[in-house]
A and B are shown apart, each in its own frame.
Chain A
Amino acid sequence: MDGHHDRDNFDSVTGHSTTGHEWDGIRELNTPLPRWWLGVFYATIIWSVGYWVVYPAWPLLTDATRGVIGYATRLSIEQDLATLRDFRAAQSKGLAEASLVQIKADPDLFRVAMAQGKAAFGDNCAACHGVGGAGAKGFPNLNDDDWLWGGSLDTIRTTIQHGIRFAGDADTRVSQMPAFGRDKMLTPGQINDVANHVRAIAGLPTQPRADLAAGGKLFAENCAACHGEAGKGNREMGAPNLTDAITLYGMDVASLTETITNSRNGVMPAWGGRLDPTTVKALTIYVHSLGGGE
C-alpha cells in the first residue's frame, strides 16, 4: 500500500514533501504557510512592540501604561472641544454682550442665537414641551400666541431663568389656584354650574340642566379675582384666558370640573442655575421666534 512512497519525506501522488508524520498510513503533506504571509505576520509582531511603547497598551492594577507620546482619546476630545469653544468664542461673545432686542434685530446674531437656542431647547426643554415646542396637555404649546406669563422677550427670559412654581428659586413665578372642590369651597353642583359658565364665555355649548346664572355669580365671586370678570385671564398671576381658542387642560365639562375641583398647578424648573446666561438668551430668542412672540 505504500507503493507510491518513493522517498521517505516525499509523496509522489501530489508531488509534495511530507512532514514525516503518519497516522494509520495517512501521511501529512508539508504545506507551509506562504512566505509573504509569514513575513507580514512577523512584521505585525514587530509593529505591535513599537505600538506598546508609543501608545497606551498594558492594563495595570489601577491604571494602564501611558505610551511615550502621551496619546489619550479623552485628551483628543478635550482638544476638539477647546477648538470648538475657540471657534464659537467670537459668536458667543456677541450674544453675551448684546441685549435681546439687539439680537433680534441683527441678522447674524439672530442666526447664531437660533442655532444655539434650537440645540439647547432639544437638550433641555423638549422632554416636556416636545421637539419644536409643540407642547402637550398640561405643557404649553410654545408655537401659539397664548401666553400664561407673557410672550415678550423679557417675560420669556424671566420664565426660563426662574421657572414656574419652582421650589428652588426665590424669584420663581408663583400663583396658586385653589382646589375649590377638594377644599369644600364649592359643592359639585356649583362646580358644574361654574364649568358651564366658563364654556359659555368661551362660546362653547352648555349643558341644558346647568344654572348659568348661578355659575356666573359663583365665577364673579371666586374666579374673577385672577381670571378677570370676563375670563380674559391675567398674566401677572399666570391665570389663563378662558375665552380664547386655546386650552392647556381641556375645555370639556369633565376636564373643567377636574380643574375646578382639584386645581392645576404646573411646575417648570428654573434654568438660570443650570444654563449660562448666553444659553438662556439663545433659548429666549428661539422660543420667542417659534411663532407666538410678542
Chain B
Amino acid sequence: MAVIDADDLPLFAPSKKVYPQSVAGPYRRAKWIILVLCLGIYYLLPFLRWDRGPNLPDQAVLADLANNRFYFFFIEIWPQEIYYFTGLLIIAALVLFLMNAVAGRVWCGYLCPQTVWTDLFLAVERAFEGDRRERIRRDESPWSLDKAWRKTGKHAVWLVIAWWTGGAWVLYFADAPTLVRELATFTAPVSAYVWIAILTFTTYSLAGIMREQVCTYMCPWPRIQAALTDDDALNVTYRYDRGEPRVSVKQAQRLRAEGVPAGDCIDCNQCVAVCPTGVDIRDGAQVGCIQCGLCIDACNTVMAKIAYPTGLIAYDTDDNVKRRIAGHRPVYRLLRLRTAIYAALILVVGGAMIYQLATRQTAGISVLHERTPLFVKLSDGSIRNSYTIRLLNKRPEERPFALTVSGLPGVRIETIGPQATADLRPVVTVEPDSSREIRALVTVPADVHLEKSQPLTFTASDLFAGEIVRAEDHFIAP
C-alpha cells in the first residue's frame, strides 16, 4: 500500500529555472527607460551637491546619522521631525494603492528594485550566455572551457554590479566624494565596508540567484495586492474570448471555412518564453505574474508576423472579456470611487505635509519644570520655580534668543550661567544647527496671590530674525 505521508511533501514546488527570452516592443522600451532612470538616480544622486552655507554639508541627499540630521535638497530634518518620513511612507502606500486600482501591479512590473535589478542582471546573463535557447542548451551540456568562462564572466559582472549597489548605498550616509576616496584608499570606516558587503550579498543573491522566487514566495505585496484589487483595475490580460480555441494559422483558416469557430492564439508559447517569472499569462491573473507587459510585446510581434490584429494580450479586465463573449461593449472605468478616494487621500496627506513644511519653525523651545524642589520661598517671601529650557536653532547661523515669561503679575525670569541681556530680558545664544539647554529661574513677588498651580507661558524671540516660539508650563506655589 503506497500511502504518501502529507508531512513529507515539500511546502512549495521545486524551483524551475526560468530562461526569459529577449523581446522588443513598447513595454520593453519603457522598462529600459525606467531602468536607466531609476538606476541613474540611485547611483549618481549622492554626488549631487547642494549649497547650504558654511556650517552644513553640501550633499543634496544625505542621512547624517552621526549628527542626527537628514538632508534632502532644501529640507533639513531633525530626529524629532521623523514624522515627515511617516507622511512620505503613507503617501507611498497610497500611490501604490492608486497604481494598483488603475493598472494592477505597475509597481511590480516596472518600478520595484527587485524587477529593475533582475532586468539588469538578465541583460548581463544574455550578454555572456546568449538568448533563451542557447542558455538552455549550454546548461544541459557538460562543462567546457566556453561554458566556464561565460559563467565566470557573468557572475563576475554580477558581483561588480552588486558591489557597486552597496557602494552607492553607503554614499547616502556620508559625504560621497570623501567616502569614495576613503573606500579607494581603504581608510573608510569599517561599517561602510560591512554595509557594502551586506548589500553586495543581497543584490547578488536576490537579483542573480533568487529572482522571480522573491516575487512569488517572499514578497507580501502580491497577496495584499490581490486583496486590494477590484474588477475594474486594468491587468495584463489574455483575451480568451478572441484566443480560444488555440489552433495553428492553417487550421484556423480551414475551420473558419467550415464555419467552425477558431481562436487567434496559435499556441506559439512566446508569451511564456519571454516571461521573467515563467508563468503562462493564458492561465489568467495569478500570483506569479508581475504584469511587466513583456508577453504583450511578444504576442504583438507574433500577431504582426502572421498578419493577425495585435492586442490578443493587452491591458484589460476579465469583466471586459466576459462582456465581449456576451456580445456587449467593453467598459473602461478609470474614474471610480476607489481611484477618486485614493487620489483625494494622496492630495490631503501631500497637502498637509507641504503645509507643515512651509510653516514649520526654524526655532524650538521645550520647558521642563524642576521637581526637586517644586518651588522655593525666597527671604522676601517671593516664590521661585526653576525650569530647564531647551532652545533649538535649526538655522545654519548662530542665533540669540531673548527669553520672556508671561501669565502672572510681576513675574520675572533669569537664567543661570554666563549671559547677556537685551531690554532686561536674558539672552541665550544657540550655536548653528544645534540646541542648547539652560536653567532658568522664574520668580513671582510675595504680594501676588498664587494657587497651587497656574499656567505660565515661556517665549523665546530671535533678536535678529524675529521668529517667536512659545511653550506652556506651570508655576507651582505652596
**Do the two chains bind?**
yes
Chain A residues near B372: list those with CB within 8 A.
Answer: 130-134
Q: Would you mind naming 15 contact pairs between A and B with Cβ atoms under 8 Å apart?
A: A107-B417, A114-B417, A132-B370, A132-B371, A133-B372, A134-B373, A144-B384, A145-B379, A146-B378, A244-B379, A245-B380, A289-B416, A289-B439, A291-B384, A291-B386
Cβ contact of A143, chosen from B376, B381, B417, cutoff 8 A: B376
Asked if A291 meets B379 with Cβ closer than 8 Å, knowing A132-B371, A143-B384, A143-B386, the reply is no
Q: Does B17 contact A (CB under 8 A)?
A: no
Complex CA–CA separation, A246 to B380 (angstroms): 8
B341 to chain A minimum Cβ distance, whole angstroms, is 52
Q: Does A158 contact B (CB under 8 A)?
A: no
Complex CA–CA separation, A132 to B373 (angstroms): 7
Query: What residue of chain A has the Cβ atom nearest to residue B416's Cβ?
Result: A289
A239 to chain B minimum Cβ distance, whole angstroms, is 15
Check if B446 sits within 8 Å of A110, measured CB to CB: no
Interface 0/1 of A87-117, CB less than 8 Å to B:
0000000000000000011110011001000
Q: Does A141 contact B (CB under 8 A)?
A: yes
Chain B residues near A106: list those with CB within 8 A.
Answer: 418
Chain A residues near B441: list those with CB within 8 A.
Answer: 291
Q: Does A190 contact B (CB under 8 A)?
A: no
- State the main secondary structure of chain A at its contact with B: loop
Chain B residues near A135: list those with CB within 8 A.
Answer: 373
Interface size for A (C-beta < 8 A) is: 26
Asked if A141 meets B379 with Cβ closer than 8 Å, knowing A104-B418, A110-B417, the reply is no
Query: What residue of chain A has the Cβ atom nearest to residue B419's Cβ?
Result: A107
B1 to chain A minimum Cβ distance, whole angstroms, is 12
Check if B376 sits within 8 Å of A141, measured CB to CB: yes
B interface residue count range (under 10 / 10 to 19 / 20 to 34 / 35 or more): 10 to 19
Check if B379 sits within 8 Å of A246, measured CB to CB: yes
Q: Does B377 contact A (CB under 8 A)?
A: yes
Check if B377 sits within 8 Å of A246, measured CB to CB: yes
A220 to chain B minimum Cβ distance, whole angstroms, is 23
Q: Which of A130, A131, A132 has the most CB of B within 10 A?
A: A132
Check if A244 sits within 8 Å of B380, measured CB to CB: yes
B259 to chain A minimum Cβ distance, whole angstroms, is 62
Q: Which residues of B contact A (CB under 8 A)?
A: 370-373, 376-381, 384, 386, 416-418, 439, 441, 446
Query: What residue of chain B has the Cβ atom nearest to residue A108's Cβ?
Result: B418
Check if A144 sits within 8 Å of B416, measured CB to CB: no
B418 to chain A minimum Cβ distance, whole angstroms, is 5
Complex CA–CA separation, A51 to B377 (angstroms): 63
Chain B residues near A114: list those with CB within 8 A.
Answer: 417
A132 to chain B minimum Cβ distance, whole angstroms, is 3
Complex CA–CA separation, A91 to B378 (angstroms): 34
Chain B residues near A290: list those with CB within 8 A.
Answer: 386
Check if B418 sits within 8 Å of A110, measured CB to CB: yes
Complex CA–CA separation, A134 to B378 (angstroms): 13
Check if A245 sits within 8 Å of B378, measured CB to CB: yes
> 8 tightest A-B contacts by CB?
A132-B372, A134-B373, A244-B379, A245-B381, A143-B376, A146-B379, A289-B416, A131-B372
Chain B residues near A143: list those with CB within 8 A.
Answer: 373, 376, 384, 386
Cβ contact of B377, chosen from A107, A110, A133, A144, cutoff 8 A: A144
Complex CA–CA separation, A134 to B418 (angstroms): 23
Interface 0/1 of A123-154, CB less than 8 Å to B:
00000001111110000010111100000000
A233 to chain B minimum Cβ distance, whole angstroms, is 10
Complex CA–CA separation, A245 to B383 (angstroms): 10
Check if A145 sits within 8 Å of B378, measured CB to CB: yes
Complex CA–CA separation, A292 to B377 (angstroms): 11
Chain A residues near B378: list those with CB within 8 A.
Answer: 144-146, 245-246, 292
Check if B377 sits within 8 Å of A245, measured CB to CB: yes
Interface 0/1 of A53-70, CB less than 8 Å to B:
000000000000000000
Q: Does A241 contact B (CB under 8 A)?
A: yes
Complex CA–CA separation, A245 to B446 (angstroms): 10
Query: What residue of chain B has the Cβ atom nearest to residue A241's Cβ?
Result: B379
Complex CA–CA separation, A131 to B386 (angstroms): 14
Chain B residues near A245: list those with CB within 8 A.
Answer: 377-381, 446
- Given A104-B417, A146-B379, A289-B416; 10 other pairs, CB 8 A cutoff: A107-B417, A131-B372, A132-B371, A133-B372, A144-B378, A241-B379, A246-B377, A246-B378, A289-B439, A291-B386
